[in-house]
Amino acid sequence: MTDKQKRKAALADYRERKVEQGIFALRCRTDDGVWVGRAQDLSKVSNRLFFTLRQDAHPHPRLQAAWNTHGAGSITFEVLEVLDPEELGLGLEREMKGRHADWVERLGAIRI
């Protein structure tokens, strides 16, 4: 297989991959802080979050303060719930908002 064919195959695989949408949490092991968010692509959101934290540019000051105080090793990322867009159809966004609010309340977390 040539490089061009490999590139085409990789692009096709990327376009056909199933994107997982849902709810995630960031937890600080040191001070028990919990932040809950929602994402259209759970596989990418952790990279974005940790990048902004490393750059000291995260928009949520309490999360950034926990990162700065306790360090990168104290913050963990976890997927709380994956929502199926095929099952929910047009109600996906409404359901995601509701599940997000539910997880924030259930964990006593801060919404991000």
- Long-range contacts of the stretch 50-55 (C-beta < 8 A, 24+): 50/75, 50/77
pLDDT value of position 32: 84
Please write the tens of the pLDDT for every residue from 19-62.
Answer: 789 999 999 998 889 999 999 999 999 999 999 999 999 999 99
Please write the tens of the pLDDT for every residue from 80-97.
Answer: 999 876 666 677 788 889
Average pLDDT of 62-86? Answer: 91
Q: Which domains does the chain have, with CATH numbers?
A: 19-111 (3.40.1440.10)
In which band, very low, low, confident or very high, does the pLDDT at 67 lie, cut at 50, 70 and 90? very high
